[in-house]
Structure 1
Amino acid sequence: MKQNKLLRAVRLSAIAAATATVSLAATISHAADIPNKTLVYCSEGSPAGFDPAQYTTSTDFTANTFTVYNRLVEFERGSTKVEPGLAESWDVSPDGKTYTFHLRHGVKFQTTEFFKPTREFNADDVIFTFERMLDPNQPFRKAYPVSFPYFTDMGLDKLITKIEKVDPYTVRFTLKNVNAPFIQNMAMEYASILSAEYADQLLKEGKAADINQKPVGTGPFIFKSYTKDATIRFEGNPDYWKPGVVKIKHLIFAITPDAGVRVQKLKRDECQVMSYPKPQDIAPLKADSNLDMPSQAGFNLGYLAYNVSHKPLDNVQVREALDMAINKKAIVESVYQGAGQAAHAPMPPTQWSYDGNLKLPSYDPDKAKALLAKAGFPNGFEITLWAMPVQRPYNPNAKLMSEMIQSDWAKIGVKAKIVTYEWGEYIKRAHAGEDDTMLIGWTGDNGDPDNWLGTLLGCEAINGNNFSKWCYKPFDDLIQKGRTTTGQDARTKLYTQAEQIFAQQLPFSPIANSTVYQPISKKVVDMRIDPLGYARFDGVSVK
């Protein structure tokens, strides 16, 4: 009965939204006139590429997912609420295992210098996008073999048993089990819809890898050019299926790794939006009469991962000692400077199912030293401590944080060598498990607890975002059960138990949850802070 109520609710909400969007779509009879405005975004780093399914960082997703592409379902701008996207509605079967997506008509793929579409978006594009991730023998995947970390981290490669083209505008997904966060997961970046026609063209030309450098989608902005470590240029999509949403003719990413330089560019109006201000720059930015500084509690977590596949980090007493030796209060004061709070769980307080009563170790260097001796290391040991080369809301200064942790650990006899790499290399090597310990963090992707506990700590995520390489069956069983259980209260009980196991095992040390600030020029209209950690420019205009 609950399933039938759920089915009706999903149908009614999706159909109501679809009615509005279909009536809007009917007005798309000719290319829209886009205001001849330019917006420059001072971004913090170069994207590794433009194929969203391959990546896991906000630097990549800001540059590809929310500019070039759309998904079947999407997050409302500035929210974790799901709305219809390239699917105008969807149905869920009474047993919760079959999802039927009804696709939007009249959606055009972008025309670029390297691709001229001959047809509109249809079911073939959805089938291609997902079969590529599901089937190792899919021809395009064989021609361009890459990994799909989100897709596999969330176990979707095992969950989705079949994708069928019912007709040119209907696609059916069959799941092995009920999956409570499935629709939320389908709104995520990896699920961005690619053009099957473009993929065929690249295959014939022997240039399959170009899908990662010359992207084509149905999104609000058309990719024009990319110069690594310098600029990315986009143009507003005149054929975008959402009328009136594209309000910028020219969108330019000015890649500016130094936060201080980003601030100066913003003040000189060389850019109108900037990413990730340093905590010490927040007050001066607020004081500038030409700028606005909206802020909100961050849906994020900065943490220190212990690679449990390396000895002695496989020993829970060692992990507990290392955690106990870190003066987190001092780190929050020095690194976050009032723009953060100490973290006490493997997810932020703003996530439903957060357990505010977890008992994590308290700062106690003497007890930490005694615990190390009990674990067989009275004289400590040597270890590597990786520090991120980029600034993130969840960690505004990894260099300083690593130096403070290094100093704290030295007091208990642990000698930490600080290591860093360029961001893309840092993530790649961490996925390969080269680090002993590493500073990293997470901003929630979809508003579901599974996106924290499953994605960061699940057994399926060991070669992806589970940088701790920690697979613990009692914990993982709860995560798997959480995915197949419906109802927020029932799922919360499971996730609370999982958080308690986390606190006992400590595969990583939670450090802080931060406040997110978005400095913008007062010329910019309707720029929203995205709780999922990206900058989005659909709907944004410039005075």
Structure 2
Amino acid sequence: MLVITVMGVVASGCLSGQESTSTSTASGETSTPEKTTNVVIYGYGSEMITLDPSTEFSNSIVVLANVYECLVKYTPNGLEPWLATSWESNENGTVWTFHLRKGVKFHTGNTMTAEDVKWSIERTLRMGLGPAFIWDPIDKMEVVDDYTIKFYLKYPANLPLIASSAYGAYIMDSKYLSTIGDDNAIADWLNQGQDAGTGPYIIVKDKYDPKTEIVLKKFDDYWGGWSGDQFDIAVIKIVPDASLREQMVTSGEIQITRDLPLDDLPKLQENPNVKVDQTASYQELYAFFNTKKEPLNNKLVRQALSYAVPYKDIVDYVLHGYGEVAKGPIPKGMLGYFEDLSTYTYDPDKAKQLLAQAGYPNGGFKLLLTYTQGDEAEAKVAEIIKAEWKKLGVDVEIRPMNWEQQWALAKSDPSNAQDILMMYWWPTYPTPYDFLFNMFHCEPEINFNLCYYCNDEFDKAIDEAVTLEGIDPDKAAQLYRKAEEILMEDAPAIFFYNPDDVYVYHKSITGFKDNPGYPQVVFFYDLHKA
């Protein structure tokens, strides 16, 4: 059942400035009375998955990024200190030293040291789930002193960028969690609505319901300090209905939300009660060709179909202008994005010429396209390309599937799998390698390379590029460009668009700023009462 009223601590009178009768400790248990006077509510569309920072690899990031912190914070303008104040490496990027912020308290009351950093990363590696792969370059870690940790790598890597990851890079209280039991026991404890982070907010255990509402309370001893116009209570309210979220934000029942109907955004921009924030995201929509199956095993056919896509019309019709046509596989704003990269444009005559050259002058073949059921944008894109390719004599069967079914079909024998698979990708942390490796690198077993593409020259270029990101980004960019030019020629996928992140927030708050490196996260600490 959808709960749309503000539960628990919110309903107790915090919105009206009345006194709360209790507060919560790090574990969410009742503590001494405290006055709480203000609340901010984020209306969110999906329920939470897990609260374990070592394994979370989905949308629960919207909670964790407010409760935990990384060594480094990613911003579109560069990396910034977070729990680490500075870092340096040796000449070839195989040894990195991080200097930690002093006086940082965990929600448990313990002081953060280098031992906590080492333990947190070791636990994530040991569990080997979700985002654990980001730490693969590490050979060993050395605690130099309480506020210095040294990383020895198996190969050069941009470790500060890795340490800013939205997934798998949060630092936990090793002293407290080690008393709970093994890794599974710790996971169970965390998923009860408890935490051991350093962030500005604490999860309120008895107000934690992953399907309806998550209540966070400010951590009084937060190292960043507090001002009087920040929010004592932050709530993530699960409201799947986008139209309902729209009504709630315009009325002020919630203060911020996202993923509203794009058709409604123009009228919201004229509404004096709300503001619309539109920023470029690091998300991209792809359609993967089955390169192991006729006729798509023919490069000319893939090129022809790539020319038969009205890219600009799709952005205008599907995104209503809230996004841009993709310039290859890497989103704008990241290393590896090239404005002048030669990409496919809508050219039906060129498409017909290439099909004829490939031996299909009148098309005459049928393709199965799958997309994620319930995704309105993907459905619209699929219908557009079905209509366009029909003009070439190519018949497209569109099959919506839930993601698990779609992925299972794609991971089966390519000869029996779909011809085209449509899906979004966004990075675990903002590196081109996350895109290029996962979706296009040769792999012995099918995982996310769902076009089944394999090109040794491409692999060599990106494998070398990633080792240079931290020590020679210009050389890394050259290699990434070479790899992307290979992709453009081989056409294993269609690169449709990069949708914008669009948030709508009530006039009663200020300070919101989207950070594409932490998708869908609202950093409550940055918000202030207007």
- The one-letter code of the counterpart of 2:234 is L
- The one-letter code of the counterpart of 1:188 is S
**Residue 505 of structure 1: which of 487, 490, 511 is its match?**
490
The Cα offsets for residues 454-493 of structure 1, whole Å up to 9 and x where unpaired, read as: 4544457986655545442211211122123333332222
Higher helix share: 1
238-247 or 518-527: which moved more? 238-247
Question: Under a length normalisation based on structure 1, what TM-score does the superposition of the two structures give?
Answer: 0.78
SS at match of 2:464: helix
Cα distance, 1:523 vs. partner?
A: 0.6
Equivalent pair of 2:305/2:351 in contact (CA under 8 Å): yes
Compared CA separation, residues 333 and 84, structure 1 to 2 (3 A): closer
Match of 1:123 in 2: 114
Match of 1:237 in 2: 219
Task: Note the 1:98-497 alignment, pairs <5 A.
Answer: 98-111=95-108, 119-134=110-125, 138=126, 141=127, 147-149=129-131, 151-152=132-133, 156-157=135-136, 159-179=137-157, 181-189=158-166, 190-203=168-181, 207-210=185-188, 211-212=190-191, 214=193, 215-224=195-204, 225-244=207-226, 247-306=230-289, 308=291, 313-364=296-347, 368=351, 379-387=364-372, 389=374, 397-411=377-391, 412-421=393-402, 425=404, 429=408, 437-443=420-426, 448-454=431-437, 456-459=439-442, 466-485=449-468, 486-497=471-482
Equivalent pair of 2:54/2:123 in contact (CA under 8 Å): no
Measure, in 2, the Cα distance between the counterparts of 1:274 and 1:173. 39
Measure, in 1, the Cα distance between the counterparts of 2:53 and 2:447. 15
Match of 1:4 in 2: none
Compared CA separation, residues 91 and 490, structure 1 to 2 (3 A): closer
Equivalent pair of 2:70/2:171 in contact (CA under 8 Å): yes
Measure, in 2, the Cα distance between the counterparts of 1:427 and 1:109. 41
Measure, in 2, the Cα distance between the counterparts of 1:399 and 1:260. 19
* 1:539 aligned onto 2:516: no
Measure, in 2, the Cα distance between the counterparts of 1:536 and 1:408. 42
* 1:525 aligned onto 2:510: yes
* 1:71 aligned onto 2:70: yes
Compared CA separation, residues 358 and 414, structure 1 to 2 (3 A): farther
368-377 or 521-530: which moved more? 368-377
Identify unmatched segments of 5+ residues in structure 2.
Answer: 1-31
Compared CA separation, residues 176 and 430, structure 1 to 2 (3 A): farther
Number of residue pairs the alignment of both structures matches:
481
- The one-letter code of the counterpart of 1:124 is E
Match of 1:89 in 2: 86
Compared CA separation, residues 426 and 250, structure 1 to 2 (3 A): farther
Cα distance, 1:334 vs. partner?
A: 1.1
Compared CA separation, residues 414 and 174, structure 1 to 2 (3 A): farther
The Cα offsets for residues 98-134 of structure 1, whole Å up to 9 and x where unpaired, read as: 11222333322224xxxxx6x3222332222222343
The root-mean-square deviation of aligned C-alpha atoms, in Å, is 3.4
Cα distance, 1:42 vs. partner?
A: 1.0
SS at match of 2:259: coil
Measure, in 2, the Cα distance between the counterparts of 1:123 and 1:427. 43
Question: Under a length normalisation based on structure 2, what TM-score does the superposition of the two structures give?
Answer: 0.79
Cα distance, 1:512 vs. partner?
A: 1.4
Identify unmatched segments of 5+ residues in structure 1.
Answer: 1-30, 112-116, 391-395
